[in-house]
Amino acid sequence: MNAKCCRVVRWEIFLLTAVAGCVRSTSLGPIKLEVSASEDLTVEEGETITLSADVGGRTEGYAFRWSQESGTETEIADPTSPVTEAGPFSEVGDYKFRVIVSNASAAFGQDFVVATVEPAEESDHDNGDEEENENADEDADENGEQEDNENAAEEADADDSEDANENGEAEPNENEADMTEDLMVELDGNRENLALVGEASTLTVAAANFDDADLEYAWRVISGDATLEDASSPTPVLTVNSPGTVELEVTAGGVIDDLERQGSMTVFVTAVGDRRPQVVIEVEGFGEIPIELDGKAAPVTVANFLHYVDDAHYDGQVFHRVIADFVIQAGGFDAERNPIEARDPIPNEADDGLSNLRGTVSMALLSGQPDSGTQGFFINLTDDNVSLDDRQHTVFGTVTGEGMEVVDRIAAVDTEPGDSPVEPVVINSIRRVETGDENGE
């Protein structure tokens, strides 16, 4: 067959390539499914909710994965069902749930449901009346004075009602719902941070919806080898003593407008020996791909990637999209094409001065969403991908040594419609490589 190359047209982050009269549509992020989850809702303490999701009204042919993103941990009855229950809820607050949906072609989508749990309604007045009436019935049975007690109870109810109306206590408080809303302190700051081993670095968070001066802060190290100073400040100083990822929690709270306000946030600091740490991707049956990361140009992106590496997150995942003369892409699917849950997205760093040239490593994004990067990444196969700079794909590393020979062999595998390899290209592991350079450069 005469393979005649036709023109290449890029729209958003989509590449349309016509080869031998056949048109193929590909993207640099997961093919996005339009997932619709159940609407946000409000319930009371002790209740359960029903979570549901579909893709265009359909559930067959899709894999579902529910997870809880925020709020006191609660049970999800069947995390892999399109319809499931969550709860019962033990505490007041907002509970956020995420559903990830995928299909056999590695298409991907997600949606969220927020359940606001309010205090269960209690009617002390009604309970008191019930007790009084029960006592009156007992007295009547003993003394034969039931009629008098019933009249007395009715008069007492009338008096209570009149007094309450006069004092404004019987009418529902219209502001009660408003007073229970927005009690949470919303903290804002980088969840992923890069630091040099042994070098003090300042962490920074701030309240998005309250004045920091009205809040008290408390930081603590949850895991990792690190020393924390000034833990009661929104800007403490952290020194990480060895390479790895340190997990911290910061809480902020205070009494504002006579109401107790509180919020918390998890922060990660990934420590490196120098600003250009190295990793090696070991690909089953293909070999190793050494990569040098650029922590000076894209510190948040590098910290995020190394955090996944330190957690062995990529072990057993696959290069799920392979497009000759374009990219090979990984992060998000296992060998059975089941979706892998990711952490929260990170801010975009595409203005770091690096370009999507052959051999560079870049962040995968959802179409038109520059701040949607999580675990997905791709390796560029051609210098023609420099146009992806305009689509805000952050370059954060470069393949070194003979790594591109391995990449090119992967790029040559047979693929199915949707650009998934016919035979899974499995990542055995991604590991850090010690460079021995401790000068921070």
CATH number at residue 427: 2.40.100.10
Q: Which of 431, 433, 198 is nearest to 305 (CA)?
A: 431
Q: Give the per-residue pLDDT at 340.
A: 93
Q: Is the peptide bond between 370 and the residue preceding it cis, with omega within 30 degrees of 0?
A: no
What is the spatial distance between Cα 360 and Cα 291, in angstroms, rounded to a whole number?
A: 9
* Residues 128 and 114 occupy one common structural domain: no
Classify residue 18: in a domain, yes or no: no
Q: Give the per-residue pLDDT at 365.
A: 92
Q: Give the per-residue pLDDT at 346.
A: 95
Q: Give the per-residue pLDDT at 160.
A: 46
Q: Where residue 71 falls among pLDDT bands split at 50, 70, 90?
A: confident
Whether 13 shows a pLDDT value over 50: the answer reads no
Query: Average of pLDDT values for 210-229?
Result: 91
* Residues 287 and 424 occupy one common structural domain: yes
Q: Say which CATH number the domain at 204 has.
A: 2.60.40.10
Q: Where residue 110 falls among pLDDT bands split at 50, 70, 90?
A: confident
Q: Give the per-residue pLDDT at 179.
A: 43
Q: Which of 391, 392, 365 is nearest to 378 (CA)?
A: 365
Whether 141 shows a pLDDT value over 70: the answer reads no
CB atoms under 10 Å from CB of 94, counted, come to: 16
Whether 295 shows a pLDDT value over 90: the answer reads yes
Q: Give the per-residue pLDDT at 8.
A: 32
Q: Give the per-residue pLDDT at 436.
A: 54
Assess contact for 253 and 291: CB atoms under 8 A: no
Beta bridge partners of 5: 19
Of 159-168, 179-188, 394-403, the poorest mean pLDDT is in: 159-168
Whether 386 shows a pLDDT value over 60: the answer reads yes
Classify residue 78: in a domain, yes or no: yes
Structure tokens at 380: 């560029």
Residue 91: is it exposed, middle or buried by C-beta count within 10 angstroms (0-12/13-18/19+)? Answer: exposed
Render 160-229 in DSSP notation, one character per residue.
Answer: HHHHHHHHT-SS--TTHHHHHTT-B--EES-SEEEEETT--EE---EESSS-GGG-EEEEEEEESSEEEE
Classify residue 246: in a domain, yes or no: yes
* Residues 313 and 252 occupy one common structural domain: no
* Residues 307 and 379 occupy one common structural domain: yes
Query: Average of pLDDT values for 293-307?
Result: 97
Whether 241 shows a pLDDT value over 90: the answer reads yes
Q: Where residue 106 falls among pLDDT bands split at 50, 70, 90?
A: low
Whether 2 shows a pLDDT value over 80: the answer reads no
Classify residue 51: in a domain, yes or no: yes
Report how many domains make up the chain. 4
Burial track 115-135 (b if 16+ CB lie within 10 A, e otherwise)? bbbbeeeeeeeeeeeeeebee
Query: Average of pLDDT values for 307-335?
Result: 96
Q: Where residue 207 falls among pLDDT bands split at 50, 70, 90?
A: confident
Q: Where residue 182 falls among pLDDT bands split at 50, 70, 90?
A: low
Render 68-81 in DSSP notation, one character per residue.
Answer: EEESS---BS-TTS
* Residues 294 and 424 occupy one common structural domain: yes
Last residue of a domain, one of 227, 244, 272: 272
| Residue 162 belongs to domain spanning | 124-178
Structure tokens at 391: 């689509």
Axis crossing angle, helix 146-167 with helix 124-143, rounded to the nearest 10: 160
- Best-predicted range by mean pLDDT (45-49, 318-322, 434-438): 318-322
Classify residue 441: in a domain, yes or no: no
Classify residue 68: in a domain, yes or no: yes
Residue 14: is it exposed, middle or buried by C-beta count within 10 angstroms (0-12/13-18/19+)? Answer: middle
The helix (run of H) or strand (run of E) holding residue 245 is: strand 244-256
Q: Where residue 93 falls among pLDDT bands split at 50, 70, 90?
A: confident
* Residues 137 and 194 occupy one common structural domain: no
Assess contact for 415 and 422: CB atoms under 8 A: yes
What is the spatial distance between Cα 111 and Cα 98, in angstroms, rounded to a whole number?
A: 6
* Residues 290 and 399 occupy one common structural domain: yes
Whether 328 shows a pLDDT value over 80: the answer reads yes
Spatial CB neighbours of 282, under 8 Å, sequence gap ≥ 6: 288, 427, 428, 429, 430, 431
* Residues 90 and 141 occupy one common structural domain: no
What is the spatial distance between Cα 304 and Cα 311, in angstroms, rounded to a whole number?
A: 11
Classify residue 168: in a domain, yes or no: yes
Q: What share of the chain has pLDDT > 70, as a percent? A: 76
Last residue of a domain, one of 92, 118, 144: 118
Q: φ, ψ for residue 434 (rounded to 5)?
A: -75, 130
Per the prediction, the chain carries an average pLDDT of 81
Q: Give the per-residue pLDDT at 72.
A: 86
**Stronger pLDDT, 155 or 324, i.e. the higher one:** 324
Last residue of a domain, one of 239, 256, 272: 272
Q: Give the per-residue pLDDT at 132.
A: 46
Sign of torsion over alpha carbons 80, 84, 85, 91: positive
Q: Give the per-residue pLDDT at 169.
A: 43
* Residues 155 and 287 occupy one common structural domain: no
- SS3 helix, strand, coil % of the chain, rounded to 5? 20, 40, 40
Whether 387 shows a pLDDT value over 60: the answer reads yes
Of 62-66, 250-254, 269-273, 424-428, the poorest mean pLDDT is in: 62-66
Whether 129 shows a pLDDT value over 50: the answer reads no
Q: Give the per-residue pLDDT at 105.
A: 57
pLDDT in tens, 361-379: 999 998 889 999 999 999 9
pLDDT in tens, 164-176: 444 444 444 444 4
Q: Where residue 197 falls among pLDDT bands split at 50, 70, 90?
A: very high
* Residues 205 and 298 occupy one common structural domain: no
Spatial CB neighbours of 380, under 8 Å, sequence gap ≥ 6: 327, 356, 357, 358, 359, 360, 361, 362, 388
* Residues 260 and 112 occupy one common structural domain: no
Q: Give the per-residue pLDDT at 107.
A: 65
Query: Average of pLDDT values for 401-406?
Result: 97
* Residues 286 and 429 occupy one common structural domain: yes
Classify residue 29: in a domain, yes or no: no
